Amino acid sequence: MSGYTSVTDDERREMLAAIGVSSIEELFDVPAGVRLDRDLELPGGRTEAEVYDRLRELASRNADAESEICFLGAGMYDHYAPAIVDAIVSRSEFLTPYTPYQPEISQGGLQAMFEFQTAMTELTGLPLSSAGLYEGPSTVAAAGYLAIGATKRRRFVVSGGVNPESRETLATYSAGYPAEVETVPLAGGLTDLDALAAAVDESTAAVIVQYPNFLGAIEDLEPIAAIAHEAGALLIAACDPIALGILRTPGECGVDIAVGEGQPLGNRLDYGGPSFGFFCATEAQIRRMPGRIAGETTDVDGRRGFVLALQTREQHIRREKATHNICTAQALNALGGMIYLSWLGRRGLVELGELLVRRTHYARERLDGIAGVSLLHEQPVVREFAIGFDGSTEQVLRDCAAAGIAAGVPLGEEYGNGLLVAITEQRTVEQIDRLAEVLGEAVARAAPAAREEVTA
C-alpha cells in the first residue's frame, strides 16, 4: 500500500540484532501463560462494500430510540437533537482543536466555552461555571472533592433520591480521597428531612441531593440548604438542565454547587454517550472549580477577546496540585449543548418544560389508572415518575419490548419493584396511550405469576 514499506525477514533480524534481542517476543514482558501462541482466527480481508453490509447486519440486531417508542430516562433522554447541532459541531475548526492554550489562535473555541458558561450560570442561578466536565455522575464526585478542599472535612451525606450511578461514582472516588459516604432515605418520594438533619454534623463536608430526584419528585431545596449550612457544610445539587427551565434555580434556593448531565441538551442517545457534565458554583469556590474556565478580556487594541482564566488551578501548570485533571474534556459536546440552548431560546426552553409537565401529568394519570399499577409517590414531577406493580419487572419490560416499547428503567431493589418512566417532547399522546395499553397487558400477565410464587 502507498505510504508503507514491507520489511524482509533478514532486515527484521538485523534490526533486532542491532538492539541486542533475538526475537520480537523479547521486547514484550508478557508471561508465557497468557500468550496466545497462535495466529488470531480472523477472516480474510473484505471489500468496503462487504464490510458495510456486515456492519449494517450487526447493527440491525440492536434496538434504538427510533425503532422503539422510548420512555427511558434516569439521566439520558430521547430528546430531539436539531440538525443544526451536527452541522456546527462537525465544522473542522470545532471538531479538531485541542486545549486552547494559545488564545491568539483559539478565539472561536474560547468564545464558545464562554457562551456555554454564561448559559449554564443563567440556568442554575449561580455566578460561576466551568467549560464542561466528562458526564453527570463524575460531576457529583468532582463536587464532593471540591467540598473536601473547601471545608477540610471528609464526610458526605447523600439523599437516597440521588441517581444510583452518581452515588456509585461518588463512592468510588471517595475510596481514594478518602471520604465517608452516608445515605439518608426518602419519605413519600422526597429526602427525609428528619433523617437528613440527624445525619449532618460538624464532620460533614457536603449534603448531596438531586433536583428533581431520581424518582422524578421535585425536592424543596431551601430547608435542605438550611440544614447543610447550619452545620458548615456545602449543598450540592445534581440537576436536570431541561427541568431548570421552569423550576426555581438552585442558586435561588441556597445551593452552593449545581452539577449535572448535559446529554438532554442537544446530544443524542448514542449507546449512552458521549455527553458532557456541567459544573456551576458560588464565587467562593472559584479557585477550587474543576475543569477549564474561559474568561473575557480585551487585547492591546481594546478589542474584546477570550482566554483561559485562573490556569493555576490546572494540571498543565501545577500538576499534582491541580484541582482537577480535566484537559480537553467534552468541549465539543458542551458546544452542542450551547447550540441547542441558542436554538431553543429562553422562551423555547420554558415552553418545552411546560409541554413536558403536561404530557407527564397525562402519562402519570393514564398509568395510575391501570389495574395492578400504582404511583410510588404523589409529589409534583416535571418529566419523569416512578410506578410500582407486582410481578417480574424484567418480564414486563420484555413483553413491552416485544410490542416495540422501551417502557422505562427498572428501579431496582432500593426503590421497590417497578419502573421509572420518562417523557420527552417526542412522546405523543397516542404513544402514551399505547404504553398504557401494552404495559397494562404485561402487568396483568406478570401479576398471576407473582401471586403463584408467593403461594408456593
Residues 343, 336: contact at Cβ < 8 Å?
no
CATH number at residue 255: 3.40.640.10
CATH number at residue 376: 3.90.1150.10
Please tell me the pTM assigned to this model: 0.87
> For 70-91, what is the mean pLDDT?
94
Range of the domain at 251: 83-340
Based on the domain organization, do 438 and 319 belong to the same domain? no
Based on the domain organization, do 293 and 415 belong to the same domain? no
Please indicate, yes or no, if residue 38 is contained in any of the structural domains: no
pLDDT above 90: residue 104: no
Boundary (domain end) residue, out of 340, 363, 391: 340
Please indicate, yes or no, if residue 52 is contained in any of the structural domains: no
Kindly report the length of the chain: 456
pLDDT higher for 78 or 274?
A: 78
pLDDT higher for 275 or 274?
A: 275
pLDDT above 50: residue 1: no
| SS3 per-residue string spanning the chain | CCCCCCCCHHHHHHHHHHCCCCCHHHHCCCCHHHCCCCCCCCCCCCCHHHHHHHHHHHHCCCCCCCCCEECCCCCCCCCCCCHHHHHHHCCHHHHCCCCCCCHHHCHHHHHHHHHHHHHHHHHHCCCEECCCECCHHHHHHHHHHHHHHHHCCCEEEEECCCCHHHHHHHHHHHHHCCCEEEEECEECCEECHHHHHHHCCCCCCEEEEEECCCCCECCCHHHHHHHHHHCCCEEEEEECCCHHHCCCCCHHHCCCEEEEECCCCCCCCCCCCCCCEEEEECHHHCCCCCCCCEEEEECCCCCEEEEECCHHHEHHHHHHHCCECCCCCCHHHHHHHHHHHHHHHHHHHHHHHHHHHHHHHHHHHHHHCCCCEEECCCCCECCEEEEEECCCHHHHHHHHHHCCEECCEECCCCCCCEEEEECCCCCCHHHHHHHHHHHHHHHHHHHHHHHHHHHC
Please indicate, yes or no, if residue 16 is contained in any of the structural domains: no
Instruction: Give the pLDDT band of residue 2 (cuts 50, 70, 90).
Output: very low
What span, in angstroms and rounded, lies between the C-alpha atoms of 383 and 421? Answer: 9
Please indicate, yes or no, if residue 307 is contained in any of the structural domains: yes
The pLDDT value recorded for residue 79 is 95
Based on the domain organization, do 279 and 380 belong to the same domain? no
Percent of the chain whose pLDDT exceeds 70? 95
Pull the grid cell for residue 195: 433523617
Lowest mean pLDDT among 37-46, 361-370, 435-444, 447-456: 447-456
Neighbouring C-beta atoms of residue 137, cutoff 10 Å: 24
pLDDT in tens, 37-71: 888 888 888 999 999 999 999 988 988 888 899 99
The pLDDT value recorded for residue 192 is 98
Among residues 71, 62, 75, the alpha carbon closest in space to that of 434 is found at 71
pLDDT above 60: residue 159: yes
Instruction: Give the pLDDT band of residue 327 (cuts 50, 70, 90).
Output: low
Prior bond of 250 cis (ω within 30°): no
pLDDT in tens, 177-228: 899 999 999 999 999 999 999 999 999 999 999 999 999 999 999 999 999 9
**Sign of the CA dihedral running 327, 330, 334, 335:** positive
Instruction: Give the pLDDT band of residue 392 (cuts 50, 70, 90).
Output: very high
The pLDDT value recorded for residue 22 is 87
Please indicate, yes or no, if residue 179 is contained in any of the structural domains: yes
pLDDT higher for 400 or 327?
A: 400
The pLDDT value recorded for residue 113 is 93
The pLDDT value recorded for residue 450 is 53
Structural domains of the chain, count: 2
Based on the domain organization, do 361 and 273 belong to the same domain? no
Based on the domain organization, do 302 and 374 belong to the same domain? no
Based on the domain organization, do 233 and 176 belong to the same domain? yes
The pLDDT value recorded for residue 329 is 65
Percent of the chain whose pLDDT exceeds 90? 73
The pLDDT value recorded for residue 30 is 84
> For 438-451, what is the mean pLDDT?
83
pLDDT above 90: residue 320: no
Place of cell 495466529: 39
Mean pLDDT over all residues of the chain?
Answer: 92
Burial per residue of 139-178, b for 16 or more beta-carbon CB atoms within 10 angstroms, e otherwise? bbbbbbbbbbebbebbbbbbbbbbbbbbbebbbebbeeee
Prior bond of 178 cis (ω within 30°): yes
pLDDT above 70: residue 397: yes
The pLDDT value recorded for residue 453 is 53
What span, in angstroms and rounded, lies between the C-alpha atoms of 164 and 432? Answer: 27
The pLDDT value recorded for residue 454 is 46
Based on the domain organization, do 419 and 398 belong to the same domain? yes
Lowest mean pLDDT among 7-21, 232-246, 334-348: 7-21
Angle at 192 between CA 186 and CA 194, to 5 degrees: 155
What span, in angstroms and rounded, lies between the C-alpha atoms of 143 and 234? Answer: 10
